[in-house]
Structure 1
Amino acid sequence: MDYKQERITTIHDFGGDLSRLEERACELTHDTPTAVLIPSLYEELERPALSHIRDQLKDCVFVNTVIVSLYADNAEQYAKAVEFFRPLPQKTHIIWENGPRVIALLKELQKQGMDILAHRGKGRAVWLGLGLATLYAGAIALHDADIITYDKTYPLKLLFPLLEPEFGIAFTKAYYARISSEPRKMNGRVTRLFVTPLLHSLMDVWGHRDYISYLSAYRYPLSGEFALTSDLALTTRVPANWGLEVGLLAEVYRNVALKRIAQVDLGTFDHKHQNVGQSPNQGLQKMCRDILHSLLRTLTETEQVVIGKDQLRSLRIKFRREAQDLARQYFVDARFNGLQYDRHQEENTLEKFEEVIIKAGDQYLEDPTGTEIPDWTRALAVMPDLRQLLGEAVTKDMQEVLEKSLPPFPKGNQHNGHGAMPTEGLVLTP
């Protein structure tokens, strides 16, 4: 535990009672409604993490709206998702992001010159969810659907700095210790063994750069948990590849003053793990490739650095030494704390990550353009009622499911504080 500050505000967890924050957050949501956005594949519904997340969200009285941006293969899977989230007391909207109604809406946008359908995966799911969330909320928290250690303090910690007007914060980013419980060991390999030594190496090769210094201020730059104001959500381009988290930080760097950015301590944290992959096009190696591509492009845009093969070779050499030194430090830290640590496996992993540097660099030199989805303000310039139409599509999708299974409410039933009926939580309001 420490109280060190960075270039951005660092909000520590010193172990105090958070109930006072929860009470204050409930007061503040009268003026600034809140939403939690969860991008998810259908497969996550069949894993225990998402059930736990749903059960924790039931107690988040400071959350007014829950939006799930779901990729489902068919109507049956979508229907199961609607039923899955039915116990939530908040207004709940399940976007079938690859369903016929949403796709038809995006095709109409495509006809008018904006092709969102060209982008797939988490990026498009996040983009759709943010657009819908801005209809209902002034502060939006986003997190993944596979968090094993989730509890209601996560959205509270992310949202509260945006709600408290005295803070003046527009964007919060989570940081944490990625420690699994069985067995107890360090996770977060891409952050530990790639991004951290890479940032050190970039500074060595190109000297002090404000953007690298800014990224280095984040204790966990790849965390998938963040919150932002609705204004920022509308003006932020969403990266469409595995560089989403780093690419999003680049957007925040362009659009937000440092004094309005904070990172928040979520404590010990764990979620589903990816394989390293057998090639730079698979698993964590692909993630590293997309991250480096995003970093090189942003450095060119913001710092006017010249990137060539000689610099990339120097970067690879610097990276290997930095990563090896960090592996030794992780070994000491892990053993001291009784964590399992396979130093040989760590070295093998960082060597695979090192090989990605030249391949990603060559790819960048051939095509330096990014894969970002235009921000919502541009989409609204094309279709001013796009968010409302998306809301209507979601309502119709959910209504088809609920009319088959949802019993009528008894006469005289009253809405609860979340805007939903006490017995069931899905509310059909476009």
Structure 2
Amino acid sequence: MQAQVRQWFERRTSGLADWSPAQVLAAKNAADVTISVVLPALNEEATVGAIVDAIRRELVERTPLVDELLVIDSGSTDRTAERAFAAGARVVPRDDVLPRIPAVPGKGEVLWRSLLVSTGDLVVFVDADLERFRPEIVVGLIGPLLADPEVALVKGLYDRPLTNGGSVLPAGGGRVTELVARPLLNLHWPELAGVVQPLAGEYAARRELLEQLPFPCGYGVEIALLVDTLALRGLDAIAQVDLGSRHHRHQDDAALGRMAAQIWQAAHARLGRDVPGRAHPAPPATLTQFTRIDGAIEVATHDVTGRERPPVITLPEYRAHRAVLDARTRTA
């Protein structure tokens, strides 16, 4: 590991044991900030209720650390919204946010829109498909933001067990990370080589950072926010926390291929800006994949267009939202 990355890794990596709820609550009160937890959700009825319930019980009622618990429902056709609401979350349909701009499918789209309806100075994103969820994950992600004002983005790191038949690979679940994201970062943004889980869906950031960043609409959002934070604030604005193991359902290889294509799109859009001489014509917006069905090869072409949303601070609706939040702060 290069010296700069090693120094960053040692200085900016911590573990859950370093951040107790009482310690983080005291730091929150001293900083006089508010915290939102946002769960983007699409057909997650099996897991979203337990996650919301754990956060509400432990971090809203028992330890008043979280001020807002928000689920953005991305068009679920199951009971995701019902179960999230019953467990104690405020549930907002994605399409009800900024209706003048029609929504497109994708995780990044939901995260981007969440900034227009959430209120916290610090925003924690948690995937809604987590199994065996522990609320201390939220505590750990908030800790570095409160401990050091220079830190603006905190990524979770973890092992991702992969179940394969009757066997379990303790860290076999991060296939897109190892095959796509990590090689991209080491090649083009080597300062980020020490980020263990660049595609982690569990991370926290300051609102004033997130509102300045563009958001890819799809699965490219995590690598884009990481690279853009580096460009805007520098490496020392990024930290990571070891969350242990992350358990969730796994997608098949074809779905991971489409995810990888979107990550490539997001990275490509940043190469001309950050890496001199690396700009190239935009990559194709489609991905062709093949499946054998009853002995015949079936062809499917998927749209992997690298759509991006502009920084929300450029939107008049968001500036009005931010003005309301600032007014509340002044009168508090």
TM-score, with length taken from structure 1? 0.60
Evaluate the alpha carbon distance shift between residue 189 and residue 53 of structure 1 in structure 2; reply closer, same or farther with a 3 A threshold. Answer: same
Which digits, 9 at most, give the CA deviation of each residue in 1:341-396, with x for residues without a partner? xxxxxxxxxxxxxxxxxx9xxx99xxxx942101111112x67536799xxxxxxx
Evaluate the alpha carbon distance shift between residue 85 and residue 28 of structure 1 in structure 2; reply closer, same or farther with a 3 A threshold. Answer: farther
Cα separation, 2, equivalents of 1:27 and 1:386: 23
Cα separation, 1, equivalents of 2:199 and 2:321: 30
Q: Which amino acid aligns with 1:21?
A: Q
Q: Decide whether the 8 Å contact of 1:154 with 1:266 is kept in 2.
A: yes
SS at match of 2:248: coil
User: What is the CA-CA distance between 1:5 and the residue it aligns to?
Assistant: 4.2
Cα separation, 1, equivalents of 2:280 and 2:212: 32
Tell me the matched-pair count: 292
Which digits, 9 at most, give the CA deviation of each residue in 1:161-220, with x for residues without a partner? 2223x45311111111112577421211111233334445xx3xxxxx5xx113312111
SS at match of 2:251: coil
- What residue number does 1:196 align with? 182
User: What is the CA-CA distance between 1:52 and the residue it aligns to?
Assistant: 2.3
User: What is the CA-CA distance between 1:8 and the residue it aligns to?
Assistant: 8.6
% of aligned pairs identical?
25
- What residue number does 1:65 align with? 68
Q: Decide whether the 8 Å contact of 1:32 with 1:163 is kept in 2.
A: no
Evaluate the alpha carbon distance shift between residue 199 and residue 229 of structure 1 in structure 2; reply closer, same or farther with a 3 A threshold. Answer: closer
Q: Decide whether the 8 Å contact of 1:37 with 1:69 is kept in 2.
A: yes
- What residue number does 1:95 align with? 92
Evaluate the alpha carbon distance shift between residue 124 and residue 8 of structure 1 in structure 2; reply closer, same or farther with a 3 A threshold. Answer: farther
- What residue number does 2:265 align with? 293
Q: Which has the larger radius of gyration?
A: 1
- What residue number does 2:201 align with? 224
Which digits, 9 at most, give the CA deviation of each residue in 1:64-97, with x for residues without a partner? 10111102357xx68x725643443xxx431111
- What residue number does 2:220 align with? 243
Evaluate the alpha carbon distance shift between residue 73 and residue 15 of structure 1 in structure 2; reply closer, same or farther with a 3 A threshold. Answer: closer
Q: Which has the higher helix share?
A: 1
Which digits, 9 at most, give the CA deviation of each residue in 1:224-263, with x for residues without a partner? 1111111112212111122111112122123223222111
TM-score, with length taken from structure 2? 0.76
The match for 1:123 among 108, 130, 145 is: 108
SS at match of 1:235: coil
- What residue number does 1:417 align with? none
The match for 1:150 among 118, 133, 136 is: 133
Cα separation, 1, equivalents of 2:83 and 2:260: 37
Evaluate the alpha carbon distance shift between residue 50 and residue 118 of structure 1 in structure 2; reply closer, same or farther with a 3 A threshold. Answer: closer
Evaluate the alpha carbon distance shift between residue 276 and residue 28 of structure 1 in structure 2; reply closer, same or farther with a 3 A threshold. Answer: farther
User: What is the CA-CA distance between 1:39 and the residue it aligns to?
Assistant: 0.5
Cα separation, 1, equivalents of 2:33 and 2:121: 5
User: What is the CA-CA distance between 1:145 and the residue it aligns to?
Assistant: 0.2
- What residue number does 1:427 align with? none
Matched, 1:18 2:25: no
User: What is the CA-CA distance between 1:28 and the residue it aligns to?
Assistant: 4.1
Q: Decide whether the 8 Å contact of 1:28 with 1:163 is kept in 2.
A: no
Bigger relative CO (Cα 8 Å, ≥ 6 apart): 1
- What residue number does 1:38 align with? 39
Cα separation, 2, equivalents of 1:149 and 1:25: 27
User: What is the CA-CA distance between 1:21 and the residue it aligns to?
Assistant: 2.7
User: What do you get for the CA RMSD once the two structures are aligned?
Assistant: 3.3
Cα separation, 1, equivalents of 2:249 and 2:312: 30
Cα separation, 2, equivalents of 1:14 and 1:239: 30
Cα separation, 2, equivalents of 1:87 and 1:294: 35
Q: List aligned pairs for 1:19-418, cutoff 5 A.
A: 19-25=21-27, 27-28=29-30, 31-41=32-42, 43-45=43-45, 47=46, 49-57=47-55, 58-60=57-59, 61=63, 62-72=65-75, 81-82=81-82, 84-88=84-88, 92-98=89-95, 102=96, 105-107=98-100, 116-117=101-102, 119-133=104-118, 136-164=119-147, 166-180=148-162, 183-185=167-169, 186-200=172-186, 203=187, 212-277=189-254, 283-306=255-278, 370-380=306-316, 384-385=319-320
Cα separation, 2, equivalents of 1:226 and 1:17: 15
Instruction: Give unpaired runs (5+ residues) of structure 2.
Output: 1-5, 284-300, 325-332
Cα separation, 1, equivalents of 2:122 and 2:218: 25
More displaced stretch, 191-200 vs 51-60: 191-200
Q: Decide whether the 8 Å contact of 1:9 with 1:263 is kept in 2.
A: no
SS at match of 1:6: helix
Evaluate the alpha carbon distance shift between residue 387 and residue 199 of structure 1 in structure 2; reply closer, same or farther with a 3 A threshold. Answer: closer
Instruction: Give unpaired runs (5+ residues) of structure 1.
Output: 108-115, 204-208, 278-282, 313-358, 390-430
